[in-house]
Amino acid sequence: MRKIPTLLFLLASALIFTQCVNTDTKEEWAIVLHGGAGSAAGMSPSERDHYMDLLNQALETGTAMLEQGARAIDVAMQVVVWMEDCPDFNAGKGAVVNSEGIHELDAALMNGRDLKAGAVAGVRDIRNPILAARHVMEDTPHVLLIGEGASAFAASAGLTMVPNEYFSTPKRLEQIRRIREQKENPDPKGTVGCVVLDKNGNLAAATSTGGMSGKRWGRVGDVPVIGAGTYANNNTVAVSGTGHGELWIRRCVAFDINALMDYKGYSVEEAAREVIFNKIDTMEGSGGGVICVDKNGRIAMEFNTDIMYRAWATAGGLRGTAIEH
């Protein structure tokens, strides 16, 4: 368990940060995205600047669509597509590999308007898993397809299929080498996600990941488990998480934030802090965070790690990009 002084510092930091972001004005639209959470160890100033630029590019993709009146579900999906195509994040191109040296990807999408959701898990050859999740949501009676079945469905839907090595980058190959040589521990944190409120008052959440570096083949984390790493409900909030997936599943993190708001009247900031710092933070190996936007466009970005790559914007002019607390 984290020492109390550190926990108090993180709580204070989160409170100050949230107060700097939100206003009492209901926003016409709002967007938050994340590129994973983890440790700041070894990050150079140039690397930090590079990621800040990438986050801004991803944010611009979403804000341009929202200003033109695009639907939340389309914006959330398209931002995640952009991040899946960027080799610097753990999703799509640039995803981590499992213990066998294979990329296995997960993604999920949820529409707050009607609570429809789609997800894929353990896929090895779908260039953009989030697009497959969209097709699952809209073109099947199911929520989650896995492995070869998900791939066959994606191919039949006309999605771009790629060889598994498409997802590889020198960084990820070096990472698995170090894990195999026991010079580095498997890292459960690293995901991309986006939550959106559109001009029509609809919420949506999208999340995609390569999962845990060095994971056993066939392992599935929280991302495609609706209510764990991804959730959206127009009555409350849209949530996308990044962290130790097994713990996110056990705590039903995304749905728990929704439930605290729905059943107990918590604000989005209060609910996110309660789950991350008073529930997840007490579990061993619990590092990670969430991004949230509620039905009024209020934003919460809470994490108990050193850093979480994140960016946000609202119609009212709030805009920012950050990595550290």
Asked whether the beta carbons of 311 and 321 are under 8 A apart, the reply is: yes
Burial class (CB in 10 A: 0-12, 13-18, 19+), 216: exposed
List 18, 61, 191, 230, catalytic entry: 191
Residue 191 falls in the annotated catalytic set: yes
Alpha-carbon span 181 to 179, nearest angstrom: 5
Q: Supply 115's token pair.
A: 């609570």
Q: Which residues make beta-bridge pairs with 242?
A: 289
* CA angle (12, 13, 19) in 5-degree steps: 90
Q: Which of 217, 229, 317 is nearest to 280 (CA)?
A: 229
Q: Which long-range CB contacts under 8 A does 170-178 form with residues at least 24 apart?
A: 171/94, 172/94, 172/95, 172/96, 172/97, 172/213, 173/97, 175/96, 175/97, 175/213, 176/96, 176/97, 176/101, 176/213, 176/214
- The full length of the chain comes to 325
CB atoms within 10 A of CB 257: 30
The torsion region of residue 211 among left (phi > 0), alpha (psi -120 to 50) and beta comes to left
Alpha-carbon span 66 to 78, nearest angstrom: 11
Helix and strand counts by DSSP (H, E) for the chain? 9, 12
Task: Return the active site residues.
Answer: 191
